[in-house]
Structure 1
Amino acid sequence: MKPEKISEGRVVAFIDIGTNSIRLLLVRINPNGSYLPLTKQKETVRLGDQGFIDRILQPKAIERAVIVCKKFVELARAYRAEEIIAVATSATRDASNKVQFLEMLKREANLEVCPISGTEEARLIYLGVSSGLRLGNSKALFIDIGGGSTELSIGDQTRYYFLYSLNLGSIRLTNMFLPDETGPVSEEQYERIKQYIRHKLADVTKDLSKHRINCSIGSSGTIENLARIAFVYLHKTSHENFEKLEYEDLRKIVRAMCAIPLEERRKFPGINAQRADIIIAGAAIIETFMEEFGLSEIRVSKRGLREGLLVDYISKSEFSYMITQMSVRKRSIMQLGLICNFDEEHAHTVTRLALELFDSIQALGIYEFKAGERELLEYGSTLHDIGTFLSYDTHQVHAYHLIRESNLPGFQPEEIEIIANLAYFHRKNTPKKKHPNLVGLNKEVIKSIRVLSALLRIAEGLDRSHNGIISHVRFYIASTDSLVLEMHAQRECQLEIWEVEKQKKYFKKMFGYDLQPKVIIKRDEGVPLALEGSAELEKISGVEVSSKS
């Protein structure tokens, strides 16, 4: 099958009809391969209510699901979506009356829905979650606890090695073990749930033991809510950016929630009240998994199946290389640049020059950079001008806010701060320690921003005309207190030299060396060498200008 061509921008809707909730992701996919999420919606419908014992979707649950799907279709059409891709998971695929449900969705909501297998659900979840993580060659265990099933997968950044779906879900187990429970949940009741889960896990544990796992990642509303409860209840903070769920914390909050009746549980610190009746069964699943697989903690991801549908869609288009050939970090950076319609050629030129400056200083041994700083300089250089589509005069300010608010997948918060501040300080103000942007950042992050911005400011100046005149740069030591910045140019480059002159003071402050620009103008074979203005340039700036053919 040929990749689908996206010659013009199009809006695509992705709908995940789950057992507990229905989720919508609405995205504009641009002609350059970038995509912009337009809206994300989620509605709890409890499609699987009382549906796992007799395998029948209840009329009221169907009615709720149809109403929400109709609303989502109308929203997608309001955004002029050209395609709506909808899938249904555990509750629908297991239901004996699924045909009637699907026909009703088609008739009343004008929505074609494809029920997917548990294995396909696991694959899509893997795609969605892994696309937002920096894994490299490390193998991760992915766990997604839904209302009707739990999907497991093992994979690294580029491929999966194991996909599995278990009929273990928070609603399914609540229906089985706590159907009408409104009081506290006894230790015996909770242990019975865990014992059932252990029995179901027996075969999976054997298969998983064949793989060496470096980390584990959990997705879904159940895991997200448990992590939030742990933060709010145990750590007394409402911080929303919780990144992990620890086993010991899980045990403490579960026993505290089991000890109180349902109505009190709805008010438990950090809990989503709509999950109060099914959170105990969901917690039993994750606690048992952590015990059986020997997991001390699970990283939390807010991505899932609907993001997997998007990744799968793009991987079948002409822009599949963005999924298959780019790292998650590189893809995050390029996506943001393309969305902002950045000057890609200038961005790549500045990035190349900035990295040559970095490598040259590192090779001379006059400064010891930290691990990862080169990569952050690359990304800050790539995005330094993305604010120009809003306003040229203050584009560095807009770039800073765009980067900070973009929640770049694959990056830690402090890395995003460095990239954003490199964009901010690439022109005009230098990063003084008391600048408002730097307040609250640790000393090492501030040091990285200050040193790397010194290189980016020079690199930006070397392509001031946006004509790519400077083909190559390097430093070499001229004396104990000065460096020569050797610039290979295709022709006269007075503007670029003047820009470099402006950065000499800050460069010395950061690296302790005076800077002496030197231009080598190369001519193509057979083309006469033109050095008009060289003498005048030397006179004005003190820059040495030489030539080589």
Structure 2
Amino acid sequence: MLTIKKYAAIDIGSNAMRLLISNIVEEKGKTTQFSKSSLVRVPIRLGQDAFTVGEITDENIDRMIDAMKAFKLLMKVHRVEKYLAFATSAMREAYNGKEVVDIIKKKADIKIEIIDGKKEAAIIASTDLNYLLKTDENYLFVDVGGGSTEFSLFSDGNLIVSKSFKIGTVRLLNNMVNDIVWQEIEKWIKTNTQGYENVSLIGSGGNINKLFKMSGKSQEKPLSYIYVNSQYTALNAMSYEQRIAELGLNADRADVIIPAVKIYLNAMKWSGARNIYVPKIGLSDGIVKAMYYGKI
């Protein structure tokens, strides 16, 4: 007997908002399968508001309402039976974040929860990585967002420690990350990976996914530190316009990809990782699976 359920996750980030609709296939005697039915990404850069002026502007509130109404209709058309909507760094820091949540509930009938960095890291870490995590190896999971980056250390297939830092692509673009934050991250990574041999990175986020896609590698193959560093140098040498015209990057991706790659490179350097694996997972995937297994 085959049963198919449809769950959805809304991830309201600092650089974009995403709606993931997933098919959940249940079959007796077999492992539950999760597959993407639809993914919609709307480039509303809330972090530009939250991190510079401290509030979500009226213009972006209107855009959020329109996006949420569209998400609501898409979930109806797909016959989604259950959903959760989580907002992260930008909405956490905007002083009118809770007010925006109330407005969207009233006008779009979407209930949003603003989550802290610790819960964000836990949801991402709950994503099923068993197929990737080899029990005799160690991994540093790095999820780079627009306003925050989550680091989680896995060893022998188990989560050892995780931490969220206020560093992300939108913050870096606006020169809002000082040397002290970089030093804190370096210290945390070196301290927590000390004693663990052969650490590899697992990268999550739209920017590392794009870089991986550009590499043309098959999904199970990692990117080397040398390759990532060479791409970082090449991207830096190009203008914003060239990255759009020659590489086909979206306008809202062509600027943030450089600071994102810088975070991954530093994480590799400080952990001693030579390779970075890039499975297609993120907060929205974690929300769906955590919702299904009753963890949230």
Amino acid at match of 1:256: A
How far apart are the structure 1 equivalents of 2:160 and 2:10? 26
CA distance change for structure 1 residues 243 and 207 in 2, over 3 Å: closer, same or farther?
A: same
1:160 alignment partner in structure 2 = 159
Contact (CA 8 Å) 2:186, 2:270: kept in 1 or not? no
Q: Pick from 182, 196, 206 the counterpart of residue 221 of structure 1.
A: 206
How far apart are the structure 2 equivalents of 1:240 and 1:30? 25
CA distance change for structure 1 residues 219 and 197 in 2, over 3 Å: closer, same or farther?
A: same
User: What TM-score, normalized by structure 1, do the two folds share?
Assistant: 0.48
1:120 alignment partner in structure 2 = 119
Report the Cα offset of residue 123 of structure 1: 1.2
Residue-by-residue CA offset, 1:523-548 (whole Å, 9 max, x unaligned): xxxxxxxxxxxxxxxxxxxxxxxxxx
How far apart are the structure 2 equivalents of 1:287 and 1:200? 16
Amino acid at match of 2:20: L
Q: Where does 1:247-326 land on structure 2 (aligned, <5 Å)? A: 247-269=225-247, 271-316=249-294
Q: Which runs of 4+ in 1 moved over 6 A?
A: none
Contact (CA 8 Å) 2:143, 2:151: kept in 1 or not? yes
How far apart are the structure 2 equivalents of 1:264 and 1:144? 27
Residue-by-residue CA offset, 1:242-301 (whole Å, 9 max, x unaligned): 843322222222222223322123234364443112222212212222222222221111
CA distance change for structure 1 residues 68 and 301 in 2, over 3 Å: closer, same or farther?
A: same
Q: Where does 1:310-349 land on structure 2 (aligned, <5 Å)? A: 310-316=288-294
Report the Cα offset of residue 64 of structure 1: 2.5
1:20 alignment partner in structure 2 = 15
Are residue 93 (structure 1) and residue 116 (structure 2) matched?
Answer: no
Contact (CA 8 Å) 1:218, 1:299: kept in 2 or not? yes
1:103 alignment partner in structure 2 = 102
Residue-by-residue CA offset, 1:146-184 (whole Å, 9 max, x unaligned): 11111010125753111100111011110126xxxxxxx
5+ residue gaps, structure 1: 1-7, 178-192, 232-237, 318-549
Contact (CA 8 Å) 1:105, 1:112: kept in 2 or not? yes
Q: Which has the higher helix share?
A: 1
CA distance change for structure 1 residues 86 and 52 in 2, over 3 Å: closer, same or farther?
A: same
SS of the equivalent of 2:113 reads: strand
1:326 alignment partner in structure 2 = none
Contact (CA 8 Å) 2:14, 2:146: kept in 1 or not? yes
Contact (CA 8 Å) 1:148, 1:169: kept in 2 or not? yes
User: What TM-score, normalized by structure 2, do the two folds share?
Assistant: 0.85
SS of the equivalent of 2:40 reads: strand
Aligned length: 288
1:337 alignment partner in structure 2 = none
How far apart are the structure 2 equivalents of 1:168 and 1:294? 21
Q: Which has the higher strand share?
A: 2
* Larger relative contact order, structure 1 or 2 (CA cutoff 8 Å, min sep 6): 2
1:212 alignment partner in structure 2 = 196
CA distance change for structure 1 residues 277 and 165 in 2, over 3 Å: closer, same or farther?
A: same
Amino acid at match of 1:244: P
Contact (CA 8 Å) 1:21, 1:46: kept in 2 or not? yes
How far apart are the structure 1 equivalents of 2:86 and 2:211? 26
Report the Cα offset of residue 18 of structure 1: 1.3
How far apart are the structure 1 equivalents of 2:273 and 2:288? 30
Contact (CA 8 Å) 1:225, 1:270: kept in 2 or not? no
5+ residue gaps, structure 2: none
How far apart are the structure 1 equivalents of 2:109 and 2:153? 36
Residue-by-residue CA offset, 1:176-214 (whole Å, 9 max, x unaligned): 26xxxxxxxxxxxxxxx7956532314413542345154
Residue-by-residue CA offset, 1:37-70 (whole Å, 9 max, x unaligned): 4323322221212421332223333333332222
CA distance change for structure 1 residues 28 and 290 in 2, over 3 Å: closer, same or farther?
A: closer
User: What is the percentage of aligned positions where both structures have the same residue?
Assistant: 28
Q: Where does 1:342-491 land on structure 2 (aligned, <5 Å)? A: none
Amino acid at match of 2:46: L
